[in-house]
Homo-oligomer: A and B are copies of this chain.
Amino acid sequence: MATVKLWTDEEVSANPRIKAVFDDIRSTRRSDFVNNFWRALANQPALLERTWSSIKEVMVEPGSLDPLTKELIYIAASTINGCSYCVHSHTAAARAKGLSDQQHAEFLAVVGMAAETNALATALQVPIDPEFAVE
């Protein structure tokens, strides 16, 4: 259960400010499905608008990283943050963007190794090599 109300399509339609964001989500993603994250954020119109605008700029607009790579970075962060919702939504998004089973397997191996060596480096308190400095 959520800590806030989840907005239904009917409630969204009755509120022009929220409806404008949902309309843009639907047309940007070319899909009628709007997931619960946005239905929860609808309780905070300013936060909803700012978050969607940032997500659109960061995740949707073309850049020098391809869309699937961005999703894998997102899932890695969500995994370490222990966010079940985000792991589910972005793994589904990655699959929709073409993630193969083999790529998923390699992603999992990298995230697992990162988590293991993060713990080892922290437990050993390894000092940073001067060679890593940016010129």
Contacts and interface: CB of A to CB of B under 8 A. Distances in A.
B64 A57 contact: no
B79 A123 contact: yes
Interface string A22-51: 000000000001011100110110110011
Contacts of A14: none
A122 interface: yes
Interface residues on A, range: 35 or more
> How many monomers of this protein are in the complex?
6
Contact of A2 (B63, B74, B134): B134
Nearest to A102: B64
Contacts of A101: 43
A21 B115 CA distance: 22
A62 to B, nearest CB: 10
Nearest to A89: B132
Given A2-B134, A87-B123, A121-B83, A105 B54 contact: no
Interface of A: 1-6, 33, 35-37, 40-41, 43-44, 46-47, 50-51, 54-55, 57-59, 63-65, 69-70, 72-89, 91-92, 100-129, 131-134
